[in-house]
Chains A and B, each alone.
Chain A
């Protein structure tokens, strides 16, 4: 049993193949990067539920406007869908009616982007998670993976798109505010670097501890998100998912992906070894042939 040139090259080839795959999570933040992620802070104690953010969002992204009677009502959950990137819901709580906005959370390490096999879902350096039409093949694995159920799919289109909030990435690139932030009449939304927004959120809590529930939703949820929430009541009461893990979702597949290169190196070697060692028996069991 010797390793001839043929087998050596085979093993070398297999090893080479695996080195190119599964090394890093493309969704993880680049440590070299100088830019910080941008984010949006939503303060539900300031929100009056006027739906101005919904209206300007639909206008800016060529989506249909809501029906005139489609208003936030406590007890009725309105969802984002393929025609609506952002919604305001009302919740009846011990502090009276409280509003909450729902849209993409723009995770620091988004499950959707690490799930995407074409990098159509993409975490930009600035922070927004965007969808790129020319790359997407419509497999909807991002929808399966997203813990917030954010990406929506145009099921009734022969040329379907994934619809979700992109934090108005074009606006941000040209130095402007996201459209919802720019148009919020109650100043419930603020835009800035994620680090500054977290500091600002905690400052508001310290300044007014009676008003706020002492936590910033999005600081740690799903490994941290760029969209941050402040509320006067516990977040579960305003429809936010509090059962989510604190570490990022791509971590869940990391172990599996890291085992791939080792299996790719070990299996062929092992199989080749077994093959060589059983080969010598082949002439003995002729009777089975």
Chain B
């Protein structure tokens, strides 16, 4: 993938747009990489399953029941995926609102990641809708269900995708060599960021609020009226752990696109993020403790679900939190990555515990996802990674903006 110089030269050389786009659609790099060999068959299989799902109904490929109407596609793809996409609002808050210049080099890739996550996980939501052709109903306004938390979440997904697209759009303009458009779009960044952070606060917590009415259906160790706050606080370190994880992979895979200065700065960025994660996790753990005491939850502890709850909180919140604190003292990047990985597992556990594992935990027939649901989930993730790679290889996301754009930026600063 050492062709960044070639791409850089092509960014704004004035070829007709159509030729340029057709050129851009061609694959770059080797076809038979390990990732491709694994992902292509799964994607093809997943597409077949999706066709079956639309021809024969959701029940033909999923294990959903009348008691458990939301399974893996909602609990993992949407609820967990959106928590991981939370990095975008945290990083834009730090860089644009708090003006922490140190993290500027990772803004674009984080926003791109967040944007794609929303597009694909909202897309996964369409697969789960029984009557997806009516999805426009809550948008066009003939029937607004304004008392629904899902109405709020749906609108916020839509608006936040637009906000993220605006935040990312200068990169597209640089790629196309559109100077005027870039100027206009850059001017909209702050408004989009402020709007985006507000939307994120509300829909990250809103995803938790979706489950507030399922009061008797969720195991009492995971149900409380504080689910929205817990979801919001945990989205901070969920998103940042994803940024650490994704950044560590991108540093290797897209090594040649990143300039020397940013390579050197990366460890410093990771240490900063680790510190924020540690503090956010401390707040989260403390909140969980308060909810535990407030809800007199100790009566549930001595049971299999109780041990499971302790595993989640001690093994996947307290432990990585201490690792983050420790890594910050020791300046050890490996421990940061390890802690981020454990944190991500913990977020998956927590979201699935609320939405799937603890949901109707007492039902006679427990829900387990079918292999086809898992394949479709993997398909969604793999297609997202393909698109991500396609964009990274073409647009100035990890690599530097074209010279003309850099000049404009340095002039406006003066």
Contact = CB atoms under 8 A, between A and B. Distances in A.
A104 B149 CA distance: 22
B150 A141 contact: yes
B209 interface: yes
B264 to A, nearest CB: 12
B194 A138 contact: no
B129 A139 contact: yes
Contacts, number: 193
B150 to A, nearest CB: 5
A172 interface: no
Contact of A158 (B57, B64, B145, B193): B57
B99 A279 contact: yes
B388 interface: no
B413 A283 contact: yes
B130 A252 contact: no
B134 A249 contact: no
A114 B148 CA distance: 5
A246 to B, nearest CB: 12
B283 interface: no
A153 B66 contact: yes
B101 interface: yes
Contacts of B60: 155-156
B201 A263 contact: yes
A142 to B, nearest CB: 9
Interface in A72-93: 79, 81-82
B134 A137 contact: yes
Interface stretch (B116-124, B212-220, B289-297, B302-310): B212-220
Contact of B146 (A26, A111, A243, A275): A26
Contact of A154 (B57, B129, B145, B193): B57
Contact of B135 (A137, A281, A288): A137
B375 interface: no
A80 B57 CA distance: 20
B216 A135 contact: no
Contacts of A26: 145-147
Contacts of A260: 152, 202
B104 A253 contact: no
A249 B99 contact: no
Contacts of B201: 263, 267
Contacts of B263: none
Interface stretch (B136-144, B250-258, B311-319, B330-338): B136-144
B37 interface: no
B99 A281 contact: yes
B131 interface: yes
Contact of B213 (A115, A117, A289): A115
B360 to A, nearest CB: 9
Interface of B: 54-60, 62, 64, 66-67, 69-70, 93, 96-99, 101-102, 104, 128-132, 134-135, 137-138, 142-152, 154, 190-191, 193-195, 197-198, 201-202, 205-206, 209-217, 225, 228, 265, 413
Interface of A: 10, 14, 20-27, 79, 81-82, 111, 114-120, 134-141, 143-145, 147, 149, 152-160, 241, 243-245, 249-250, 252-253, 255-257, 260, 263-264, 267-268, 271-272, 274-275, 278-279, 281-283, 285, 288-289
